[in-house]
Structure 1
Amino acid sequence: MKWFLQRVLAALAAVVVVALGAAVLVRVQFTGDPASWAVSDGSNALWMGHAWVDGRSGEAELEQLKPRIEQGGISDVYVHVGPLGFDGRLDPAKHPELEGFLRMFRSELPDVRVSAWVGQRVEKGELDLGEEAVRERVVEASERLVESGVDGVHYNFEPVPNNDPGLIALLESARDRLPGETLLSSSVPTVEPLAGVAFTLGLALSKDPFWSAGYLGRVAEHLDQVAVMSYDTGMPTEGLYGGFVVRQTQVAMDAVPEDVHLLMGVPAYADDHAVRNPEAETTAAALRGVRLGLSEGGQRREGFGTALYADFSATGGQWESYMDGWARPDGSQGQDG
């Protein structure tokens, strides 16, 4: 019993040391000015809600969104087509207007690629990527979506544990069976800000708070695009959050192969919950953090952009922050709200 308590206390002490060290590192990084070249190159993405494929949104809504997509340099959209069942199936009744949406969208924005956004929670009792039959149904659903006319498939499984073999197996299968021109992308969670953090925290926590950089790299090898969900971080202040995004950007650029399109997720929603302080996680802070992280690389990475979450929640102020802070920086920052 004494030995066990010593192990627990040692693990907790390690967690505290790691957390304090990481906090100091990330806050310091949110200083200085980003390089003038660290701006959008027009290869950005936007998560779009389910209303586009169930009939609630149509031409009037697209007319409002179109100039933001064009002016924002958005080259890819991920349209939510419905959650998978826990068995991996996707009911076509969840996206009855998908083909109509594709016709409408492409008539207005023919140069923007459309990926079907599919996913589900993968905790115990829900969708299990470790089961071959489940993976088979997910790939079958992906094949049907491509047959419906989408340009790609965008996976969003949460929370996938660090070093999970099931996700790798799914991506291998999808890559083998989907047509070669299909764009394959995935959302991924935040990555350890320092090497070894994921392993250390895993000793004391029941769920992995981060992926390791190595696992991110292995996942990315099977994809055309990776979108890092650099939000819902639990950071209490804007400075800590911005510094965290700087570090996320740096780590992701090192981990993701250069021939894979890397997108840093940017929050544009109002949620206030246990792992998000909306006054800290602002659109403006995220974008400045992305620009600072990109600047640290010393040169513009090809195939690098941001992914804004989301069309159905972004306010006018958040769109202004996106335009001023990334799409067309002019020295001013729009205010979220």
Structure 2
Amino acid sequence: MARRRLRRAGKWAAWVVAVLVVLPVTVAGTALRAQYAGAAAPQTTTRGRDAFWLGHAWVDGRRDDADVAALRRRLEGTGIRDLYVHAGPLEHDGTLPPARTAYPRAHWLIAAVHRELPSVRVHAWLGDRLVYGPGERGGLRLADASARAAIVASARQVLADGFAGVHLDIEPLHSDNPDYLRLLDRLGPAVHRRGGVLSVAVHQIDPLPGLHRVSGALTGHRKWLSQRFFGQVARRVDQIALMSYDTGLPAESLYGGYVAQQTRLALEATGRHTDLLMGLPFFHTDDMGHHASAETVRAAVRGIRLGLTRQDPGRARFGMALYVDFTATEEDWAAYRSGWGRPGRT
């Protein structure tokens, strides 16, 4: 009898696991694959508002005129208008070293791009790791008003040094962070007074309402932002780039469906006065958070186009952001050009 009861208990436990774990995963997988099905509208092609992240080598002396000429050839016929060039990590107090230390070749790069690619803008990509807990060290603390003021001063510095805009990427950004909004409230006017463009890179949106709270409670890492917070951020900037990669999904169809969903959620939250840019994974690391065989440019472009088709196919202020130059392959570029290029252009 006891053995029979144990067998029954084991069967019951297996059913519980199936219901609580396997079934939701199966349903979620089916839903994501459904998001990846169908055809994109023919008008979902580049609007000429795409962006490209470039590494620090472009401003520290490792690149030269031949590299700029190669970049010009690479960008010809694409919709890339903005270059987010890594201008040096912020110090943990929000300050930025002087140009001769942080980005000694920035003036050369800006002049060379203006000469070779006159319609392309060069932005200063600034970032740092965020810390939150009272004992956490080795990062930027946005709750510190002096740190926020220092970031604004750093933005003024790069604009004075000739950059067309400030691209802020500070992570991990917790959803509903009031100090981040306070920073943007000061940063936006400071950048605009100098004729600059303010852009930010942010995490993905909750695939299910409130999921950022669940992930925070279970793992201590709030992977997603609420859709409401995403919209609050978008209203404060000129461009918002959603980093639609590092999802951990194991198959192209799942990843592409997820990106389609993220595109729809982001479009719902982003007003028409802000450029929404969806990130493309031009990198190929393989770990728990990123499977290169699944997170392909091909799947991302198709997913973005499907999400745009379903939500707002005629939206003008929309584009893709390519991350990052020093890991991009010919296959990545071919998938971007063929999937998102204008009709008749390659």
Tell me what 1:305 maps to: 319
Say whether the 8 Å CA contact 1:22–1:194 is kept in structure 2.
no
Residues in 2 aligned to 1:285 and 1:107: alpha-carbon distance in whole angstroms: 34
Describe the shift of the 1:14–1:87 C-alpha distance in structure 2 as closer, same or farther (beyond 3 A).
Answer: farther
Partner AA of 1:139 in structure 2? V
Match of 1:57 among 54, 63, 71: 63
Q: Bigger CA drift: 238-247 or 16-25? A: 16-25
Tell me what 1:285 maps to: 299
Partner AA of 2:66 in structure 1? A
2:131 is equivalent to residue 118 of structure 1: no
Tell me what 1:90 maps to: 96
Tell me what 1:8 maps to: none
Residues in 1 aligned to 2:21 and 2:265: alpha-carbon distance in whole angstroms: 20
| Aligned-residue offset at 1:29 | 0.5
Match of 2:274 among 260, 270, 274: 260
Among all aligned residue pairs of Structure 1 and Structure 2, give the percentage whose two residues are the same amino acid: 39
2:112 is equivalent to residue 104 of structure 1: yes
Residues in 2 aligned to 1:209 and 1:229: alpha-carbon distance in whole angstroms: 11
Residues in 1 aligned to 2:342 and 2:279: alpha-carbon distance in whole angstroms: 18
Offset from partner CA, 1:9-58 (integer Å, 9 cap, x none): xxxx9898876554332221011111111111111111111111001012
Tell me what 2:338 maps to: 324
Residues in 1 aligned to 2:192 and 2:222: alpha-carbon distance in whole angstroms: 33
Tell me what 2:259 maps to: 245
Match of 2:153 among 140, 152, 160: 140
Aligned residue runs from structure 1 range 127-166, under 5 A: 127-166=140-179
Match of 2:29 among 23, 27, 49: 23
Tell me what 1:46 maps to: 52
Partner AA of 1:100 in structure 2? W
Partner AA of 2:145 in structure 1? E
| Aligned-residue offset at 1:176 | 2.8
Residues in 2 aligned to 1:195 and 1:63: alpha-carbon distance in whole angstroms: 46
Describe the shift of the 1:172–1:151 C-alpha distance in structure 2 as closer, same or farther (beyond 3 A).
Answer: same
Partner AA of 1:58 in structure 2? D
Residues in 1 aligned to 2:202 and 2:27: alpha-carbon distance in whole angstroms: 24
Match of 1:75 among 75, 78, 81: 81
Residues in 1 aligned to 2:70 and 2:226: alpha-carbon distance in whole angstroms: 40
Residues in 1 aligned to 2:343 and 2:167: alpha-carbon distance in whole angstroms: 29
Residues in 2 aligned to 1:73 and 1:112: alpha-carbon distance in whole angstroms: 10
Q: Bigger CA drift: 289-298 or 14-23? A: 14-23
Tell me what 1:335 maps to: none
Residues in 1 aligned to 2:329 and 2:246: alpha-carbon distance in whole angstroms: 18
Offset from partner CA, 1:169-202 (integer Å, 9 cap, x none): 1111112323432100000111112323233433
Match of 1:208 among 200, 222, 240: 222
Q: What SS is found at the alignment partner of 1:178?
A: helix
Residues in 2 aligned to 1:261 and 1:91: alpha-carbon distance in whole angstroms: 30
Say whether the 8 Å CA contact 2:50–2:80 is kept in structure 1.
yes
Tell me what 1:9 maps to: none
Tell me what 1:6 maps to: none
Offset from partner CA, 1:98-125 (integer Å, 9 cap, x none): 1111111111111111110000111332
Say whether the 8 Å CA contact 2:90–2:96 is kept in structure 1.
yes
Describe the shift of the 1:133–1:18 C-alpha distance in structure 2 as closer, same or farther (beyond 3 A).
Answer: farther
The CA RMSD measured in Å over matched residues stands at 2.0
Say whether the 8 Å CA contact 1:22–1:193 is kept in structure 2.
no
Say whether the 8 Å CA contact 1:155–1:185 is kept in structure 2.
yes
Residues in 2 aligned to 1:14 and 1:209: alpha-carbon distance in whole angstroms: 22
Describe the shift of the 1:17–1:216 C-alpha distance in structure 2 as closer, same or farther (beyond 3 A).
Answer: farther
Match of 1:170 among 155, 170, 183: 183
Residues in 1 aligned to 2:182 and 2:25: alpha-carbon distance in whole angstroms: 32
Structure 1, unmatched stretches of 5+, are 1-12, 333-337
Q: What SS is found at the alignment partner of 1:71?
A: coil
